[in-house]
Structure 1
Amino acid sequence: MSRGTRGSTMVETVIVCIMVSALIGTGLSSGGRVMDRMSVASSRNALVALHARARARAIEHGTVARLFVDPVGDSAWISDGTVVVERVNFATSHRTDVIAKETLLLCMAPNGVADTRCNSFDSSVQIGCARGGESAQLTFRPLSQVMVGT
């Protein structure tokens, strides 16, 4: 009666290692795209939340609240005139770029509608968030509406 060998040969071990590394490589490359997509969506949601927060701040305090979006610094913040209430740096917190033609200023009046005399724009403007090959668009309208994905 003969007994088979136990364990595996060197060739079998090398083949398994190659197959595992190929699977891991495929998973990592698709995982990077998923992370890009999630970061972009998170950035877009943060901009929408800042817009809502500026409006709420203006209504709650009965003063003008200003929302700034700075594409050069990849950041956005809310100010009530003298104090920065909230700031988000998208380059560090979401690792995304903010894309706009210039720094935008949206002023929210105490009645919850934008004060068009204070805004830095008088027609709809596009704001984008991008990372890797993924991007998302927002449209800010002069009377304080924000449209996602247009």
Structure 2
Amino acid sequence: MTSLLDNLLDLAETTVEGYQEVEGYVCLHLKLLNRGTYCPHCNYYTAELHQTTQILVRDLSSFGKPVYLRVPRRRFYCPKCQRYSTEKIEFLAERRNYTKRYEQHIYERVLSSNVAEISRIEYLSCAEVEGIFRRISSEKKKTGDK
């Protein structure tokens, strides 16, 4: 059964297992619903879990508070090609500490304001805001989006 938090969060293949409020922000504990992944090396579907670690990822603010997601990062073993791979998560870009929608939000805010202001409002460093802005700008140029 889908919970209200799952509906509000609106991230495919996830469910909210729990949450906590910590020093002015909210942390949602996610569970990934898919059992396995396709091996990026040989495209074989494997559900042979090797290890799971947790990462903390910034998402869009809600109710006037920053929101972080505690996301399981799962590594799978492929018995066909005998290699290990980390599962790709649709709402996260590779090696990022922010959801894709949060990065898009920061990009749009900088377009209508400036880096220093968004840095102050979002509790990010100017370098983080600039990095997000440059990354999204570059992606938009590659795809021809505005």
Compute the TM-score of the two structures, normalised by the length of structure 1: 0.26
Bigger RCO (CA 8 Å, 6+ sep) = 1
| Higher-Rg member (1/2) | 1
Structure with greater proportional helix content: 1
Structure with greater proportional strand content: 2
Compute the TM-score of the two structures, normalised by the length of structure 2: 0.27
